Amino acid sequence: MNRVTLLMFGFVVALGWGYYMFLYPPRQLRVAIKNALEEFAQAVATKDRSKVGAVVDGHLTDNAKIHLEVTFFSLTQKGQIPIVEDFTKKDFMTFIDNVLYPLDTYAYTPTLESFTMNDAHSAADIVFSSREWADGKSHYAGIEVGVRFSSDTVCEGHVVFSGKVPFMDTLSCKISMRTVPKPEEASKLRGNPQAMQQFLMR
CA distance 191 to 116: 53
Which parts of the chain sit beneath pLDDT 50?
Answer: 4, 6-7, 9-24
pLDDT in tens, 47-63: 999 999 999 999 999 99
pLDDT of residue 27: 76
Q: Which of 177, 175, 179, 157 is nearest to 166 (CA)?
A: 157
Give the angle subtended at the CA of 9 by the CAs of 8 and 14, to the nearest 5°.
95
Q: Does domain 3-201 match CATH 3.40.50.970?
A: no
pLDDT in tens, 84-126: 999 999 999 999 999 998 898 899 999 999 999 998 888 999 9
CA distance 56 to 46: 14
- Judge whether 154 and 129 are in contact, CB under 8 Å: yes
Q: Which of 39, 76, 77 is nearest to 55 (CA)?
A: 39
CA distance 70 to 6: 58
10 Å Cβ neighbour count for 177? 16
